[in-house]
Structure 1
Amino acid sequence: MALYGYARVSSSDQDPSLQEAELWRAGCQIVRSETRTGTSRQGRAELELLLQFLRPGDTLVVTRIDRLARSLRDLQDLVHELKQKEVTLRATEQPIDTSTAAGKAFLDMLGVFAEFETNLRRERQMEGIAAAKAKGVYKGRKPKIDPAEVRRLRNEEKLSPSAIARQLGIARSSVYRSLSDPGSKGPTSA
């Protein structure tokens, strides 16, 4: 029956050391941490590694549930996966312990609020972008593709669409799109 800790921060300007210290204080024998978004499980190698090592009777410990997942669906999937492995989930800063009925109920409530918070943040971001566009301040991302360069490489250097895509670091479909758009004069976002 081992305690495994998992710490996560969303961006490189955040520091997981406070979470790690809390997990060590909670008695974790192993603590893994990573810098990845919590809105998806994809690309979270440290979490996947921990999930492989967990055995029946073990406990996965996080400081807060939103360190594990920001989507209710991901949280429910993780809890189900842990239950299948006979592993409990515990949070040090919240009354969550999936070995108790109250802990399971609180987990579900916090999962709903974590997803709600993510959705609110996304709405505020979209409102900010809309306001910036209305003021003419927001221009979108910088152009990545220069259709004139794509056509030059095709016509003058006789490169194939695949070779053009490799040389410019873009998708082959973007090359075809640029070549089929005769009205395109300058860089486009694709």
Structure 2
Amino acid sequence: MDAIGATLRIFEPEVTTAGNMTRMVITVLGVVADMELEFIRDRQRAGNEAVKVKGVYEGRQKRVNDVEFRRLAAKGVAKAQIARDLGVSRMTAYRALESRDT
């Protein structure tokens, strides 16, 4: 924003990036938000590891079997179309079809 001379002004609560002090406050808040996100991730990892030790954690269940992906791909259906037909993201279809190659 500085490069093009633009500023941000939020009306409620009143905040603007026009002054140097406000920029510093926004920068500090951004750093604090980033740190909190890291703390959340660390707590989540620790929780997952704790239940893995107990043998409880298995991860999320698959919505669609990889066999269905392979069947449709063998018919010549495009990966994007397979994803639409099965109601999953394109990346899910790509990953499922890549896993059969490795």
TM-score range, shorter chain: 0.5 to 0.7
* Kept after mapping to 2: 8 A contact 1:161/1:172: no
Aligned length: 94
1:177 partnered with 2:76: no
> Residue 115 of structure 1 aligns with which residue?
34
| Greater fraction of residues in strand | 1
User: Which of these residues, 92, 106, 109, is aligned with residue 13 of structure 2?
Assistant: 92
* Kept after mapping to 1: 8 A contact 2:7/2:16: no
RMSD between aligned alpha carbons?
A: 3.3
Normalising by the residue count of structure 1, what TM-score does the alignment of the two structures yield? 0.38
* Kept after mapping to 1: 8 A contact 2:66/2:96: no
Cα distance, 1:161 vs. partner? 5.0
Q: Can you give the 5+ residue segments of structure 1 that lack an aligned partner in the other structure?
A: 1-79, 182-190
Between 1 and 2, higher relative CO (CA 8 Å, sep ≥ 6) is seen in 1
Partners of 1:173 and 1:100 in 2: how far apart?
48
Cα distance, 1:117 vs. partner? 0.9
Distance change >3 Å, CA 175–CA 145, structure 1 → 2: farther
Q: Can you give the 5+ residue segments of structure 2 that lack an aligned partner in the other structure?
A: none
Normalising by the residue count of structure 2, what TM-score does the alignment of the two structures yield? 0.62
The one-letter code matched in structure 2 to 1:84 is: I
The one-letter code matched in structure 2 to 1:115 is: D
* Kept after mapping to 2: 8 A contact 1:98/1:104: yes
